[in-house]
Amino acid sequence: MTSALDGALVADFSRVLAGPYATMLLADLGATVVKVERPGAGDDTRAWGPPFAPDGQSTYFHSVNRNKRSIALDLSDPADLGIAQDLARHADVVVQNYKPGGLARFGLDYAAVSAANPDVVYCSISGFGSGEGRDLPGYDLLVQAMGGLMSITGDAEPTKAGVAVVDVLTGLHATVAILAALRHRDVTGAGQHVEVSLLSALLSSLVNQSSAFVGAGVVPQRMGNAHPSIAPYDLFATADRPMIIAVGNDGQFRRLVEVLGRAELADHADYRTNTDRVSHRDALKGTLEATLTTRGADDWQRDLTAAGVPCGPINSIEQAFRLATRLGLEPVSDIDGIPVVANPVVYTATPADYRTPPPTVDSDRDEVLALLRERP
């Protein structure tokens, strides 16, 4: 079966997470991705452990590097630099996350690459853009802090997300940009330079919280597990363990209080509409928990789910994978005996393809050099 990006060559000069995540998604769709690494150690994340996979590489590295070919190139060595430039000259897509301007001295910046390869789609990923923020280091935790995410996450003190979510979101935005630029090239024949920064990707991804500031001048604050604009939409105590209840409209609220045996609350002046409930969220939470704590979370989840009220437990990651498996979502795939987290998208015609496990450093040098010799 043909993959969506069969025949596309991606020169991947990125490392760590945002860029490698984007290029892995392209590789899942059939692109040939050549990962350029420094000789010896390779990508920094190869050593980011424990935990380590059975092949000795970190599971962090495994998370974003399947379906790729690795070649180790020392860009300060003329022979290796020539290979890197040749790769960029033949590539349909170049992805890099060096400090802005960092590849210019190697003749691998957009100006140099596009001069030799005018229809290239060249994607630059940075922390704070290529302008005034060009010299700021682009680490996920730093951007979570400086980009406002930590100011609205947690309870008593600013808290980072449990995963490098800004890197992941930036990788997704980069993938969308690359695919859009490839489509533009299909129509016009012209390549282009696309840039995405971690800060811009985060501000866009803050969606309603960013819009609250831009559109209404409201500066969002930390609210723990509560939602700034919806109630009840929070973590609630039960007789044995906490659970999430996520009521999104008045009908769901009415069904919630009916299951709790408190149907009169649906018409209470303080709770009749979502705006009313948001204004009286603390009192409402206390009222609901007075009933919720009389039974266990599993019992409530069964009855509330049957009534169409969104709710659920706080799962561990292990429990989340078990849930996805039970629901038939197939969250894990296998490549040559190495388990990998599956691509989340289901395609009817061009499904994600799992061809090769994450490579070892420079494991594909001969294959890459042969590939370049074959390219026109």
Which pTM value belongs to this model?
0.93
Half-sphere exposure of residue 362, counting CA atoms within 13 Å on the CB side? Answer: 9
CB atoms near residue 227 (< 10 Å): 16
Instruction: Tell me how far apart the alpha carbons of residues 342 and 321 are, in angstroms, rounded to a whole number.
Output: 11
Per-residue model confidence as pLDDT tens digits over 279-314: 999 999 999 999 999 999 999 999 999 999 999 999
Same domain, 151 and 17: yes
Same domain, 88 and 34: yes
CATH number, residue 182: 3.40.50.10540
| Percent residues over pLDDT 90 in the chain | 96
Residue 308 carries which DSSP code?
Answer: T
CATH number, residue 251: 3.30.1540.10
Same domain, 18 and 107: yes
For residues 187-203, average pLDDT: 98
Cα-flanking dihedrals φ and ψ of residue 26, to 5°?
-65, -40
Would 214 be classed as within a structural domain?
Answer: no
Same domain, 306 and 337: no
The count of domains in the chain is: 2
Same domain, 18 and 148: yes
Same domain, 80 and 100: yes
Would 224 be classed as within a structural domain?
Answer: no
For residues 338-366, average pLDDT: 95
Q: Residues with Cβ < 8 Å from 45, sequence gap 6 or more?
A: 15, 16, 17, 20, 58, 60, 61, 64
For residue 220, with 0-12 CB atoms within 10 Å meaning exposed, 13-18 middle and 19 or more buried, which class applies? middle
Same domain, 148 and 196: yes
Instruction: Tell me how far apart the alpha carbons of residues 61 and 361 are, in angstroms, rounded to a whole number.
Output: 12
Tokens representing 109 are 């910046």
Q: Domain range for residue 244?
A: 233-319
Would 4 be classed as within a structural domain?
Answer: no
Instruction: Tell me how far apart the alpha carbons of residues 300 and 302 are, in angstroms, rounded to a whole number.
Output: 5
Same domain, 50 and 199: yes
Question: What are the residue numbers of the active site?
Answer: 167
- Closest residue by Cα to residue 36 from 11, 2, 66: 11
Per-residue model confidence as pLDDT tens digits over 21-42: 999 999 999 999 999 999 999 9
Same domain, 98 and 170: yes
Same domain, 266 and 365: no
Would 159 be classed as within a structural domain?
Answer: yes
At which of 296, 319, 342 does a domain end? 319
Residue 137 carries which DSSP code?
Answer: -
Supply the pLDDT for residue 185: 98
Same domain, 72 and 145: yes
Supply the pLDDT for residue 1: 59
CB atoms near residue 208 (< 10 Å): 12
Per-residue model confidence as pLDDT tens digits over 234-285: 999 999 999 999 999 999 999 999 999 999 999 999 999 999 999 999 999 9
- Three-class secondary structure of residue 289 per DSSP: helix
Same domain, 193 and 271: no
Q: Is residue 174 a contact partner of residue 18, using CB atoms and an 8 Å limit?
A: yes
Would 1 be classed as within a structural domain?
Answer: no
